[in-house]
Structure 1
């Protein structure tokens, strides 16, 4: 599938993450600060509810390449919603995903994605591959940012996610992704960590991408741009 996607530089993505980490997004910390959970003096803190682990060998119908894995039930549900979303916005000539290659963390609370495989012309192909820097890689990163609050690009290009509510947080990883998406998928070559929102607005994106609904719309549009499906 290399021939249908423009080659990108993972170095640009990783350098972007480093640059964005140094940027303070106004209001992000205050807006998302968690309320104190400290117990009153003399009382023991409430026990944290244990997360339920389940054994699964598939995600949204796609088999796990390494076989069954023990994973937190909530994380597995999010992964199922994510992969169905990715598939719904993928090219019509691709089948639904038939195999996902990834690693579940020791506690079952993280997942690191290495490949998504689909069938086309009776052949199984990598629609996303961690080691391939192309528009499909950035599109898949967008789809994960749509569903998860924290997405990390590993040194080998694999994408790591953890359970949690999706939405804009202003993290360095989100800003780095947004700037790279603007430059590589939206054609906004002068976007940087301080002005990317203005560039997106001038490009016709009606909702502030640094809001919950705007972030969802921006990541979906970036997914479709990366997979070349924005026209339908």
Structure 2
């Protein structure tokens, strides 16, 4: 979907990949998902149980049902609802998501989000497309997950866990890219991006829990050009 999003270079979009850990390609389709692993000593039997789901929030999973850790699926539901709530009003709620679940059900790699606009199904986010919607979607995932990585080809991989600022290389690299490409702070770097965001009128410390949530939310809205409503 090209709409009116500003095109970004692949080098800038994948800035986070250069500073983060080595790329790995995770996942498996539902048909090849591994069975639940046996619980370790002292672990509740249901803790490692995988659940089959054919949707994330409103969106069908391309390829049919996949097996998730229950907590990861709940976080993905909340993430996609958040992404939709901060997307353009002319887009429908997401109708389809393409992605892969890891064998243990604890990580998800996102490739495509599809919505309906003007009675046509369109790719609102596509892993291989270098545009502001890609960075906006990356921001929305950082809002909900502690580990978000840009894979080869632009796919976005998340691991389960509570969101929040950790100071990881992936988070810092995203923040610097967002400052430069979405906030217009072209001189921002890994040492001063927090100060520059604060000077730009961001009320909270972007490295605090509430500040990181606000920074990632506004970054998504800037990328999708919905910051005015």
Q: Is 1:196–2:193 an aligned residue pair?
A: yes
Matched, 1:47 2:45: no
CA distance in 1, matches of 2:213, 2:10: 23
Name the CA shift for 1:77/1:194 in 2 (closer, same or farther; >3 Å).
same
Structure with max Cα Rg: 1
- CA drift of 1:85 comes to 0.3
Cα distance in 2 between the residues matched to 1:86 and 1:123:
20
Paired residue secondary structure (2:48)? coil
SS in 2 for 1:128: strand
Q: CA deviation at 1:162?
A: 1.0
- Aligned partners of 1:115, 1:51: CA distance in 2, in Å? 27
| SS of aligned partner of 1:127 | strand
Equivalent residue, structure 2, for 1:143: 140
The offset of 1:18, in angstroms, is 3.1
Q: Helix, strand or coil: the match of 2:137?
A: helix
User: How many residues get paired?
Assistant: 209
Residue equivalent to 1:97: 94
- The Cα shift of 1:16 comes to 4.5
Mapped to 1, the partners of 2:15 and 2:224 lie a distance apart of 23
Q: Which runs of 5+ in 2 are unaligned?
A: 22-39
Counterpart in the other structure of 2:213: 216
Partners of 1:154 and 1:100 lie apart in 2 by 17
Change (3 A) 1:15 1:230: closer
Using structure 1 for the length normalisation, give the TM-score: 0.87
TM-aligned CA deviation for residue 158 of structure 1: 0.3
Instruction: Report the TM-score when normalising by structure 2.
Output: 0.88
CA contact (8 A) 1:101 1:115 kept: yes
Look up the SS of the partner of 1:2 in the other structure: coil
Alignment deviations for residues 131-180 of structure 1 (CA, whole Å, 9 cap, x no partner)? 00100000000000000000000011000001101000000000000000
Contact conserved, 1:130 with 1:156, CA < 8 A, in 2? yes
CA RMSD of aligned residues (A): 1.5
Shift of 1:199: 0.6
Cα deviation, residue 4, structure 1: 1.1
Could you say which residue in structure 1 is the equivalent of 2:34?
Answer: none
Instruction: Supply the distance in 1 between the matched residues of 2:7 and 2:123 (Cα, whole angstroms).
Output: 15
The answer to whether 1:73 aligns with 2:74 is no
Q: Secondary structure at the match of 1:85?
A: helix
Question: Equivalent residue for 1:4?
Answer: 4
Aligned residues of 1:20 and 1:175 also touching (Cα < 8 A): no
Looking at structure 2, the residues matched to 16 and 64 of structure 1 have their Cα atoms a distance apart, in angstroms, of: 27
